[in-house]
Structure 1
Amino acid sequence: PEDPERRRFFNQTANLGVLSMAAVAGAFGVWRARRHPSVVTVEVPIENLPAELEGYRIAQISDLHLGPTLSGAFMRRVVESVNGLKPDMVAVTGDLVDGSTEHLAKHVEPLRDLSSADGTFFVTGNHEYYSGAEPWCRTLSELGLNVLNNAHSIVRRGSAKLMVAGVNDYRAHKILPAHRSDPAAAVAGAPECDA
């Protein structure tokens, strides 16, 4: 015969164990997210790259997901880390935020202080669309970022030209029909470039 007290004790102990593991895993995730931002260096070989573009340094910022866990203080540390690299260009490649401009605009303000020879460029990720992509694009543009929604910009170094193109998130049209990802539009009208 089954003992109801023993079963209740077992269920309560199992539930407490699962909740404890979830709490520890959640705390570990928050701790990892709030640490100093990591920098990974990747060298990308490009054949026939003009001498003027040799050693060109692009700092990429991606998937920060500023919001309930990460705030403006973390963004400030990211900006300081990036500026310390002395990049030629900064690329912010989406999923910057997990919330609206109303709640998070002040947390991205440190982006205004990014420093690079050829500017800072931004493309949307899916999370900007969940949070209001158009207000985010306006806010980031006001902070001095060059927003590339299916658009490009040309960076010149001496006689060398480098095209920087950005496309909207490939599912953006499901939220904003006018924001369909369009690589052809992103490069339309661009001059012949070296890279």
Structure 2
Amino acid sequence: MLRWVIFLLIFIIIDVYAFQAFRTVSKTIWLNVVYWVITLLVVGNLIYQFYGLTRKDFGNPQAFAFGFFLAILIPKVIILGIMFAEDIFRVPQAAFRYFTEGSNADVKYLPSRRAFISKIALGIAAIPFGAVLYGMYRGKYNFKVLNYTLTFEDLPEAFDGYKLTQISDVHSGSFDNIEKVEYAINLINEQKSDVILFTGDMVNNETKEMLPYVDIFKKLKAKDGMYSVLGNHDYGDYLRWESAEAKAQNLEDLKDLQKQIGFDLLLNESRYVEKNGEKIALIGVENWGAGGFKKAGDLKKASEKVDKNDFKILLSHDPSHWEKQVIHDDYHYHLTLSGHTHGMQFGVEIPGLFKWSPVKWRYKYWAGIYKELGQYINVNRGFGYLGFPGRVGIWPEITVIELKKGSHNA
């Protein structure tokens, strides 16, 4: 109860500033009424949906309540910053007049807020307000195919021009539009890659979340097969299960379900893909993440049947594994495929020029291709979404990587 009181007090302080800007511009009572009705409905719904909630109960109603709250909170915080900056000048001016003019002042000490400052604040705040709503309505299914070409000196000749498609972080429990999901699966098949690789988080928590989409995912096709690994959410660690047996059964059900779809699930193990008498190694580890995430991944075990000189592609859900262990391993993993970060589902990207998201403060490698010590990683921005029911600027991703043999990247 106390945390809700604190939450409401903080929000009221923010709203006091936000409403000052709105009232300065708005000259009609009914607009002020609309402002407060929307605010009370959104905040009231948030409290209703989340009060006493357990993680197992979290679903689309709670996700949308959180999303609509963000849609009004972020603009209000922006307005707070601008209006507070104005007060840096207004308050000292009022204090100066009080001590110099006293009761002889012919006007009130504190100057009125300037309308143009309020208009600027509201104009700037309208941008994230619209962006968040768009992200919830369209952005979460705004699938993008990102194409990369990576060149390696020691790539087997037979695999020159080999194409792989990576998807990650399906989070099927968050979906609310089966037709959009089917569109994305068709988009993956249209890439006609040689192999499809999935890097974890099929579900949010429970295997049953994926059941409505199994037949759609069964349509995935690649001539050299499909391979997958587990992500941190796939283990069911974020729920309170009725028993350890129920949790273990959920994981076994998920493994069986991936097999039904057609994925060869790699649990700290490897496979070879052969072509014209040459081969590359596909290695998959269970989840290994820094900062308190599950560490079931065993790189040594996964690679025990792979020769050090083989060309190696590693599937590892969390990119912190690459940073902490993989790039320093003497086995030299040519290409690692990860996901996990979602790019925080929020950020700004200008392809080839600029990318930013708050998640960069948590993960050094958070979206796209990186190269360290002669090794590459692609951090996929994710297929689905989690928590916030949308994406703003960081769109759902289907990665297509073409392997080329040569001395350097073009």
TM-score by structure 1 length? 0.79
Match of 2:62 in 1: none
For 1:77 and 1:144, the matched residues in 2 are separated by 19
Give the residue type in structure 2 aligned to 1:21: I
CA distance 1:78–1:88, shift in 2 (3 Å): same
Give the residue type in structure 1 aligned to 2:172: L
Match of 2:280 in 1: 162
CA distance 1:12–1:161, shift in 2 (3 Å): closer
Greater Rg over alpha carbons, structure: 2
Any unmatched runs of 5+ in structure 1? Answer: 1-6
CA-atom RMSD, angstroms?
A: 3.2
Offset of residue 81 of structure 1: 0.9
Give the residue type in structure 1 aligned to 2:222: S
CA distance 1:12–1:147, shift in 2 (3 Å): same
Q: Which of 125, 148, 170 is matched with 1:64 structurally?
A: 170
For 1:151 and 1:72, the matched residues in 2 are separated by 33
Give the residue type in structure 1 aligned to 2:206: S
**In terms of mean alpha carbon deviation, does 71-80 or 156-165 score higher?**
71-80
For 1:49 and 1:111, the matched residues in 2 are separated by 31
For 2:293 and 2:161, the matched residues in 1 are separated by 39
Equivalent pair of 2:232/2:293 in contact (CA under 8 Å): no
Alignment deviations for residues 83-132 of structure 1 (CA, whole Å, 9 cap, x no partner): 11110000011123224222322223322111111001011111212374
Give the residue type in structure 2 aligned to 1:34: Y
The answer on 1:78 being equivalent to 2:212 is: no
Secondary structure at the counterpart of residue 189 of structure 2: helix
The answer on 1:136 being equivalent to 2:254 is: yes
The answer on 1:193 being equivalent to 2:310 is: yes
Bigger relative contact order, structure 1 or 2, given CA contacts below 8 A and separation 6+?
A: 2
For 1:96 and 1:144, the matched residues in 2 are separated by 13
CA distance 1:194–1:10, shift in 2 (3 Å): closer
Offset of residue 50 of structure 1: 2.0
For 2:221 and 2:151, the matched residues in 1 are separated by 24
For 2:228 and 2:254, the matched residues in 1 are separated by 11
For residues 108-187 of structure 1, the aligned pairs below 5 Å read 108-130=214-236, 132-171=250-289, 180-187=296-303
Give the residue type in structure 1 aligned to 2:148: V
Count of equivalent residues: 184
Q: Which of 21, 24, 48 is matched with 2:72 structurally?
A: 21
TM-score by structure 2 length? 0.40
Give the % identical residues.
23
**In terms of mean alpha carbon deviation, does 69-78 or 45-54 score higher?**
69-78
CA distance 1:126–1:81, shift in 2 (3 Å): same
